[in-house]
């Protein structure tokens, strides 16, 4: 019979304390629904009253199976819990659970709060009792607990007992400064349980300041704690909170945890983990970290030639779990180290089956290496990789040629102080001997100037003769710019993601010192890839 | 009396197996010198023979106190160690140490290698003996050790003993697939020592596939191992190797490790850690991870208003170490949660001392919030923050106005197939009523087109009348582009880093849907900031 392990997500509260992060109420609702679908047990939505957005969120919070939780702090000394307006605002959010943070490190009580140890302990007890009296589930976040326990274990434990005796459902040991190591977390958690707070009421809340947030969380659970607090993608102040996206697969798939403990995350929910992680990155407009455990794009990427050959024989040789369990996939990327087995696997994934003895394989490898030296990167631009290979294999119809283009970006300051921006592009293409000139400006429906690359795309896509229908079915959904050497004296790599009405999504790359030129190169690859998919090989003029 | 703990860096070998990473021999030499200055004991430079760049590196490797190490694999079954050409190439690099990887997991021996268990064990013994006979220090990387020990402990230990008895100085337990958890590493390492391989000869080599590489390394050391293998910035395949940048401060500063163990990293070298970490990011052209433990830009950034007030009273309230020890610094960033204490601290850092009661503080906070909603980010653009604050405080002379600009980017395909690219910019400025028109193209000294932003900068900097000397002293050193919403229908944020001849370095930001416009905005802030520094407040026309 497995014991229940509870997951408490604080992406919307502690995660919001990350530098550069500010969720709108709508974004919080979106994240809350995703967390609920994932199967976490508690969603800490924010600090109502202290953050206006948080009050809004709680007012219209989505209905969830997860227990919606409001965060706050213990009452201030010198007034009763009922008369503390900050605490009242937290309770007014009407959530089923309330999590209050309070000091348990004597140094903080005296230096930061400026009150006596007894006053602080009484404030904890009174605040928790007040929450319980209001019919809510009470959680107590023991701030700076591990530092406090080392400095004055009696006092720190006294604070825990005050909260526990006042009726708190959960006592959460917080490594607030993030400096505690796993063996200490292990030892101290065990001592807390031995001192009388049952493991079934203990939670753990870690930060990653020494790179041990995940390990510290596991250590506490192994010592008997039964709640883990963390965030999606390890979001959080400084180095972040314990990363639930990293912890959940370990808890679900790795022994001995998987057979001893049970969370609320089902296998189906687990398979949605990559999507959930990317959703948060999208909202924050962050580039997903390729090396993230379990969900990173590189987490199952096997670059070394030896590894790739072994993987093709049996994935268990170099994979610790099946990537599909978390919604990820295996990758055999291109690189200097890639043997021809890597290349053939990647060509096969692109729908091009090449005989192992085909001498053009070596030519393709050399071309890729040459271009990567110039700044191209094919790992994130599979469609450009395919176009390059097709070129070498004689399977790349051109469909059209671009004779020239010109892009102009202008800005004027009007006499009344307003600024006027305008971008215009002219593209001249040749389709089977027929020259077509197209001009476009970059104004969108609101009259806003969207910039020179946008103008260029619109001009290119305006009149492609017989291919017009295919291009009309295409849209650009992402545009990543990278300077591969420092400064404006640099080579620019542009990666464009395109989608079409038939559910395809593909990435292409362009490189140039000139960002417009790099963008154009990526655009051309994107269009030609699409035309090959829609038209096939025969209609275009072969390379 | 402290025991010696050895650090083995494999950035240049295992780190090179990262997707998208390919070091040149010169870059390897630069990294090797930095590793040596940091104080690591071993530098694994690569696999000579297998990688041409690696052979080049070893041939001209810098002289280091650290022991230069060549990587390779145990001899193939069916030939003697002396007759294995791959092994011979490794020895031919002439390094003082040689690290050979060999299979210790029976599944791999049979499935991946296709030889018998005894043949593999004999290959390990013979290879190590050969290295020792050649007068080199031998290290044995026990591949897949933890998986192998769980599957067939007798066989795995037998492989270790084979290497140890043949004279290996170090036996390195490798968690090659990265799936082992800290408590298992702890247990198994202890059992290996109990079975007869002394801790003083044991090394640990972990990967971060479950987010536990750092914790696993610490666990092995706590169990008695005395060598840690890792990489700078956790570079490495899939989720990366154990991050030495994260481990070194913990080993040096945290008890009980700091008083029991001693590495080769001195306090002075430790204070250079941030620089070393950034150096590698620069070489790889990677954006440094803000949340990296110890060295991240956000590692000591305190956003929450409560935290910031406490920090101002005593840094120990929310910092687990003094950031200066690793070459980092405390940050009190701007955000919606920032109270006015944050803002005043940041203004003071910019040299602007504002009275706490000044009503313009609230105006500045509001303006920052408004602009951040539009896509501006001031955390990484301190000079633009300062310009904004100066504007609100009436301390921002304009020096010049830009009436208009026009940038043209053109590309033609010549009849002979060559492509011709050209960018040109016209900028019209008004300096104290006098209009000046400047035109520039973006060709550099080699006739290469450097793109529209480059042309714009050159035109702006070409003739600024009385301010020309200041602008001539300026150069742009970095240019970061970020699309803050998806796709080309997006707002572009450009951050420009500038340097001058007086050792200053400053960052400015610009935001627009139009990348050229965003770049221009950042350029204007950069120039005006420089002029304020050089000229002062009185010479320009006040805003």
CA distance B204 to A292: 21
Distances (CA, A) of B129 to B88, B132, B133, B162, B465: 14, 5, 6, 10, 75
Residue A109: pLDDT above 90? Answer: yes
Token pair of B36 as six digits: 């040596």
B369 φ, ψ (degrees, to nearest 5): -60, -45
Q: Which residues of B touch A453 (CB under 8 A)?
A: 488, 515
Q: Which residues of B touch A250 (CB under 8 A)?
A: 181, 210-211
Report ipTM for this prediction.
0.81
Helix (H, G, I), strand (E, B) or coil at A437: strand
What is the mean pLDDT for each group of 10 consecutive residues in chain B (543 residues)? 96 86 87 98 94 88 97 96 96 98 95 93 98 98 97 98 98 97 98 98 98 98 98 96 98 95 97 94 80 93 64 71 91 57 80 87 84 77 91 91 91 79 91 91 78 89 91 86 52 86 88 88 95 77 39
Return the pLDDT at B486.
33
Size of interface A-B (CB pairs under 8 A): 368
Residue A488: pLDDT above 60? Answer: no
Identify the helix (H) or strand (E) that includes residue A277.
Answer: helix A273-284
8 Å CB contact between B238 and B228: no
Mean pLDDT (chain A) is: 89
DSSP state, B241? B
Smallest CA–CA distance, residue B466 to chain A, in Å, is 22
Say which CATH architecture domain B3-265 belongs to.
Answer: Alpha-Beta Barrel (3.20)
What are the residue ranges spanned by the domains of chain A? 3-265, 305-388, 401-535
Pairing of strands B6-9, B42-46: parallel
Residues 6+ apart with CB under 8 A from B297: B288, B290, B331, B379, B380
Q: Do B488 and A454 touch (CB under 8 A)?
A: yes
Instruction: Give the burial class of B115: count Cβ atoms within 10 A of its Cβ; 0-12 exposed, 13-18 middle, 19 or more buried.
Output: middle
Residue A490: pLDDT above 60? Answer: no
**Mutate which: A25, A209, A415, vs B, most B CBs within 10 A:** A209
Strand order through the sheet with A474-483: A474-483, A492-500, A505-512
Residue A311: pLDDT above 80? Answer: no
Q: Do B514 and A294 touch (CB under 8 A)?
A: no
Pick the range with the lowest mean pLDDT from A71-85, A319-333, B369-383, B490-504.
Answer: B369-383
Q: Which residues of A touch B107 (CB under 8 A)?
A: 316-317
Token pair of A161 as six digits: 């007992």
CA distance B214 to A254: 18
CA distance B10 to B42: 8
Q: Which residues of A touch B337 (CB under 8 A)?
A: 17, 51
Which residue among B293, B452, B481 sits closest to A409, beta carbon to beta carbon?
B452
Q: Do A423 and B208 touch (CB under 8 A)?
A: no
CA distance B98 to B139: 6
* pLDDT tens-digit series, residues A1-59: 899 999 999 999 999 887 667 788 889 999 999 999 999 999 999 999 887 789 999 99
CA distance A268 to B153: 35
Taking the Cβ of residue B178 and every Cβ of chain A, the question of whether any pair is shorter than 8 Å is answered with yes
Helix (H, G, I), strand (E, B) or coil at A41: coil
Q: Confidence band (pLDDT; 50, 70, 90) for A332?
A: low
The residue in chain A having the minimum alpha-carbon distance to the alpha carbon of residue B485 is A285
Taking the Cβ of residue A448 and every Cβ of chain B, the question of whether any pair is shorter than 8 Å is answered with yes
Cα separation of the two ends of chain A = 66
Identify the helix (H) or strand (E) that includes residue B489.
Answer: none
CA distance B171 to B161: 9
Smallest CA–CA distance, residue A107 to chain B, in Å, is 8
8 Å CB contact between B517 and B507: no
Taking the Cβ of residue B223 and every Cβ of chain A, the question of whether any pair is shorter than 8 Å is answered with no
Taking the Cβ of residue A461 and every Cβ of chain B, the question of whether any pair is shorter than 8 Å is answered with no
Return the pLDDT at B543.
36
CA distance B17 to B25: 15
Which residue among A182, A222, A296 sits closest to B218, beta carbon to beta carbon?
A182
* pLDDT tens-digit series, residues A229-240: 999 999 998 999
Helix (H, G, I), strand (E, B) or coil at A404: strand
Return the pLDDT at A310.
66
* Core vs surface per residue B131-142: b (16+ CB within 10 A) or e: bbeeebbbbbbb
Return the pLDDT at B126.
98
The residue in chain A having the minimum alpha-carbon distance to the alpha carbon of residue B457 is A488
Which residue among A293, A477, A514 sits closest to B409, beta carbon to beta carbon?
A514
8 Å CB contact between B460 and B510: no
Q: Which residues of A touch B181 (CB under 8 A)?
A: 218, 250, 254, 257
Mean pLDDT (whole number) for A379-405: 90
Q: Do A210 and B476 touch (CB under 8 A)?
A: no
CA dihedral B81, B86, B89, B95 (to 10 degrees): -70
Please provide the DSSP assignment of A499-522 as one string: EETTS-EEEEEEEESSHHHHHHHH
The residue in chain B having the minimum alpha-carbon distance to the alpha carbon of residue A481 is B481
Q: Which residues of B touch A106 (CB under 8 A)?
A: none
Taking the Cβ of residue B418 and every Cβ of chain A, the question of whether any pair is shorter than 8 Å is answered with no
Helix ranges restricted to H, B20-109: 25-38, 52-59, 85-92, 106-108
What does pTM read for this prediction?
A: 0.81
Residues 6+ apart with CB under 8 A from A311: A302, A317, A318, A319, A330, A332
Taking the Cβ of residue B221 and every Cβ of chain A, the question of whether any pair is shorter than 8 Å is answered with no
The residue in chain B having the minimum alpha-carbon distance to the alpha carbon of residue A333 is B19
Token pair of A211 as six digits: 């790179």
Which residue among B222, B300, B487 sits closest to A183, beta carbon to beta carbon?
B222
343-402 in B: which are within 8 Å (CB) of A? 372, 377, 379, 401-402
* pLDDT tens-digit series, residues A285-302: 677 888 999 999 889 987
Instruction: Give the burial class of A403: count Cβ atoms within 10 A of its Cβ; 0-12 exposed, 13-18 middle, 19 or more buried.
Output: middle
Smallest CA–CA distance, residue B432 to chain A, in Å, is 16
Residue A372: pLDDT above 90? Answer: no
Task: Give residue A131's Cα distance to chain centre.
Answer: 34
Cα separation of the two ends of chain B = 65
Return the pLDDT at A337.
47
CA distance A231 to A246: 10
Return the pLDDT at B331.
73
Pick the range with the lowest mean pLDDT from A214-223, A339-348, B478-487.
Answer: B478-487
8 Å CB contact between B9 and B44: yes
Return the pLDDT at B45.
97
Return the pLDDT at B309.
61
Q: Do A401 and B413 touch (CB under 8 A)?
A: yes
Taking the Cβ of residue A440 and every Cβ of chain B, the question of whether any pair is shorter than 8 Å is answered with no
Say which CATH architecture domain A401-535 belongs to.
Answer: 2-Layer Sandwich (3.30)
8 Å CB contact between A69 and A98: yes
Q: Which residues of A touch B178 (CB under 8 A)?
A: 320
Helix ranges restricted to H, A172-243: 182-194, 213-222
């Amino acid at each position: 019979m497995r014991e229940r392990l509870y997951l408490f997500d604080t992406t919307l509260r502690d995660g919001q304390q990350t530098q550069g992060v500010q969720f709108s109420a709508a974004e919080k609702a979106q994240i809350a629904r995703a967390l609920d679908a994932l199967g976490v047990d508690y969603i800490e939505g924010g600090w109502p009253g202290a953050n206006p957005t948080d009050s809004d969120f709680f007012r219209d919070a989505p209905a969830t199976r997860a227990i919606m939780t409001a965060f706050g702090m213990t009452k201030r000394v010198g007034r009763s819990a009922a008369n503390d307006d900050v605490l009242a605002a937290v309770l007014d959010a009407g959530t089923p659970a309330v999590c209050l943070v309070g000091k348990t490190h004597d140094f903080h009580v005296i230096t930061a709060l400026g009150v006596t140890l007894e006053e602080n302990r009484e404030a904890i007890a009174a605040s928790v009792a007040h929450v319980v009296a209001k019919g809510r589930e009470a959680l107590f976040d023991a701030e700076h607990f591990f530092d406090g326990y080392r400095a004055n274990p009696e006092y720190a434990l006294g604070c825990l007992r005050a909260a526990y005796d006042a009726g708190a459902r959960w006592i959460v040991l917080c490594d607030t400064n993030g400096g505690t190591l796993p063996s200490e977390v292990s030892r101290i958690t065990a001592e807390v349980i031995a001192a009388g707070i049952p493991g079934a009421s203990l939670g753990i809340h870690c930060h990653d300041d020494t790179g041990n947030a995940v390990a510290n969380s596991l250590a506490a659970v192994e010592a008997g704690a039964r709640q883990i607090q963390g965030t999606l993608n390890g979001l959080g102040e400084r180095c972040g909170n314990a990363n639930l996206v990293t912890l959940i697969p370990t808890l679900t798939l790795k022994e001995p945890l998987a057979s001893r403990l049970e969370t609320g995350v089902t296998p189906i929910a687990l398979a949605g983990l990559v999507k959930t992680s990317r959703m948060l990155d999208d909202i924050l407009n962050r580039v997903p970290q390729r090396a993230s455990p379990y969900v990173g794009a590189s987490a199952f990427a096997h670059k070394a030639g030896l590894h790739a050959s072994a993987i093709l024989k049996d994935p268990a040789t170099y994979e610790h779990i099946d990537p599909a369990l978390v919604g990820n996939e295996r990758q055999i990327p291109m690189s200097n180290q890639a043997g021809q087995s890597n290349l053939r696997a990647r060509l096969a994934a692109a729908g091009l089956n090449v005989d192992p003895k085909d001498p053009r394989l070596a030519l393709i490898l050399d071309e890729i290496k040459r271009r990567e030296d110039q700044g191209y990167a094919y790992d994130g631009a599979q469609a450009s990789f395919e176009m390059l290979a097709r070129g070498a294999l004689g399977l790349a119809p051109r469909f059209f040629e671009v004779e020239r283009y010109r892009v102009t970006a202008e800005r004027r300051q009007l006499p009344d102080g307003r600024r006027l921006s305008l971008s215009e592009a002219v593209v001249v293409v040749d389709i089977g001997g027929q020259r077509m000139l197209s001009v476009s400006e970059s104004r969108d429906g609101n009259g806003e100037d969207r910039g020179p690359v946008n103008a260029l795309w619109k001009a290119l896509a305006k009149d492609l003769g017989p291919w017009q229908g295919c291009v009309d079915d295409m849209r650009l959904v992402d545009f990543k710019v990278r300077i591969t050497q420092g400064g404006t004296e640099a080579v620019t790599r542009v990666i464009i993601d395109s989608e079409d009405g038939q559910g395809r999504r593909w990435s292409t790359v362009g490189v140039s010192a000139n960002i417009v030129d790099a963008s154009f190169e990526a655009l051309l690859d994107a269009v030609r890839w699409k035309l090959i998919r829609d038209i096939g090989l025969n209609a275009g003029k072969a390379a």
